[in-house]
Amino acid sequence: MPESSAHGSGAQGRRDIAVVKIGGSILTSAQAYRRAAKFVREMVMAEPEERFVVVVSAQEGTTDGLERTAIKIHAAPNSAARDLLWSTGEIRSVALLTLHLEAIGVHAAPLNIHEAGLILPETDREAGRIHLHGGRLASVLAEFPVAVVPGFFATNAASQIVSLGRGGSDLTAVLLAEGLRACRCELIKDVPGYFTSDPHRDSAARHIPFLSFEQAISMAEDGCNLVQRQAIEAAARCKLPLVIRTVRRNTTVSRISLGVAEADQREREETIVGAQG
């Protein structure tokens, strides 16, 4: 996979930014959107000095349904038309979550794919050279405590909408967090992090509270699709810790970060740089 980079525009300003991705497995119904909105409100109330970028996926099952619709019309859908059709699921989620937030008193701004600012410099569909042009997002965060943006998509050099592959909302969150120099990146799933096996199928599955990037990538290679592999690789390259959790408070979480030895080395390097500065 080509090297990945995301470039921000100094959007952080005087406030910390947190990027929170809410996946389709959470957004299953109108009630689920209300629950997600209350979850976001709790974060805003707990950290009133922060700004939140909430990345949303399409409602569970929507992308597959749109794919079936496309195939019924044409057995081999044009990729540009298919991605445009797919994107309606994420845009719907952005609008619905924003409406639910406004309904419970949270001042939130909905952004579309172009406004979110992730751009593929070339028409290469690999998600490896994505840049963030964050001017619009920065201006929104200066006014609103919450910006809701669509995951799974970027635009290319011709301003066409292009998908980032299944699980691409995870990658969206990581690239936005890197480009905005976010203080943290949280991926909200239907399980409270990583387990030794699928907890939905195995009652004996044990929770894994901490993984190195290498361990998480290895699990992805072995078929664990909890977090998109490209997102883990992108986070590893920019040394961005990830938190995987559910919408429930006071439950277990999993953290993906540097390995112990690598973290110690980085801490020593930062201490040396700080002393020299």
Range of the domain at 234: 17-276
CA 18 to CA 134: how far, in whole Å?
Answer: 15
Q: Is the pLDDT of residue 13 over 60?
A: no
Residue 5 domain-assigned (yes or no): no
Residue 122 domain-assigned (yes or no): yes
Residue 8 domain-assigned (yes or no): no
Band the pLDDT of 130: cuts 50, 70, 90. confident
Number of domains forming the structure of the chain: 1
Band the pLDDT of 120: cuts 50, 70, 90. confident
Residue 136 domain-assigned (yes or no): yes
Mean pLDDT value of segment 139-151 = 97
Residue 1 domain-assigned (yes or no): no
Quote the tokens at residue 238: 């920019």
Residue 11 domain-assigned (yes or no): no
Kindly report the average pLDDT of the chain as a whole number: 87
pTM value? 0.86
Residue 4 domain-assigned (yes or no): no
Q: Which residue has the tokens 């959790």?
A: 245
Mean pLDDT value of segment 173-190 = 95
CA 45 to CA 63: how far, in whole Å?
Answer: 32
Mean pLDDT value of segment 173-187 = 95
Residue 161 domain-assigned (yes or no): yes
CA 245 to CA 255: how far, in whole Å?
Answer: 9
CATH number at residue 158: 3.40.1160.10
CA 114 to CA 219: how far, in whole Å?
Answer: 33
